Amino acid sequence: MTQPGFWDRPENAQKVVQQKKLCVQVVEPIERMAQVIEDAGVLLELAEDDPQSVEGDLQKAADELREGLDELEFQLMLGGEHDASNAIVTLQPGAGGVDASDFAEMLLRMYVKWAARHDYEVQELDFQKAEEAGIKNVTIIIKGPYAYGRMKAEQGVHRLVRISPFDGQARRQTSFASVEVVPELEDDLAVEIRKEDLKVDTFRASGAGGQHVNKTESAIRITHLPTGIVVSCQTERSQHKNRDSAMKALRSKLFQLEQAKREEELAKFYGDRGSISWGNQIRSYVLQPYQMCKDLRTEFETSDVAGVLDGNLDPFIEAYLKKRKDESKQ
């Protein structure tokens, strides 16, 4: 990065910067623990003359080491082939009508807040507002080290139970929304996409974005006919840039589809979209008659539902990754 002309090729430079961030995630915790160990060694020498004077400092060092080891153990769980990649996240409401659309928007807010906690960047690829409230469909990219490795724990159907704000009789309603997560893959990935298999539609971008965006057909929708996978992008003013982003998302989803076939999970990940309903949820968010958020895969639960919806997802993600790690050992 210190070489002359490093920034002359911005795209390559960004890749190197990303690689550096991944390395830092591994190296910094080890260096930090090495320093704690060195300081603790000095404290042990002092303890020979006056043990009580350094007892508190030694306990603090022990706690820091324990936290550091936990951090490294978590890092080891993010060792999948694409775990270090950015995450492409698609949210879609399921059964529940207006409540489901509103719930999908609540999940979007939750992931944006979670990303901010980790200093991740969130880029919107496609956003379709529902007619009455909430969202009809949204696709975002969460950019940062190991974004996909963490976010893959969120893939599946989510369930919300609450007193509906859209029900005039204030009845309790259950609604569902699906979260699909795939890694953002490089353009040179070996995924065969034939032109004759693609249906490309252009349309005017919706929502705010300036006069140019809304007066030209800059938005792109690509349908992969053999699989039925649909990707859209309307955030850029340039149709060419929107097409590039949509093709990258399609390439990632097709790669994930092949992975799912090999793992015999095709029906789970890309099955009938009507299955976003009872009996398929991975996590429940109950706001009434009591407060509870429970992951049905790991049995991890908390009564702080408001905190979870505010982006405190790490305990759920860690529980999921630990379960996957334990299952791989069996």
Q: How confident is the model at residue 265 (pLDDT cuts 50, 70, 90)?
A: very low
pLDDT digits (tens, 9 = 90+) for 126-150: 888 888 889 998 999 999 888 999 9
Looking at the structure, tell me whether residues 123 and 151 fall in a common domain.
Answer: yes
Q: Which of 119-133, 173-187, 203-217, 290-304 has the highest mean pLDDT?
A: 290-304
pLDDT of residue 110 exceeding 90, the answer is yes
Looking at the structure, tell me whether residues 238 and 112 fall in a common domain.
Answer: no
Residue 292: CATH number of its domain: 3.30.70.1660
pLDDT digits (tens, 9 = 90+) for 182-206: 888 765 556 677 888 888 888 777 6
Flag whether 324 is in a domain: yes
User: What sign results for the dihedral spanned by CA atoms 200, 204, 206, 212?
Assistant: positive
Total domains, the chain: 3
Residue-range definition of the domain harbouring residue 237? 195-262
Looking at the structure, tell me whether residues 224 and 279 fall in a common domain.
Answer: no
Flag whether 67 is in a domain: yes
Instruction: Supply the pTM of this predicted model.
Output: 0.70
Looking at the structure, tell me whether residues 60 and 107 fall in a common domain.
Answer: no
CB atoms within 10 A of CB 79: 11
Looking at the structure, tell me whether residues 41 and 99 fall in a common domain.
Answer: no
Looking at the structure, tell me whether residues 43 and 103 fall in a common domain.
Answer: no
The two three-digit tokens of residue 70, written as one number:
């936990």
CA 207 → CA 62, 84, 212, 213, 323, distances in Å? 53, 33, 12, 9, 42
Q: How confident is the model at residue 320 (pLDDT cuts 50, 70, 90)?
A: very high
Angstrom distance (rounded) from CA 78 to CA 100 = 31
Mean pLDDT of 225-236: 82
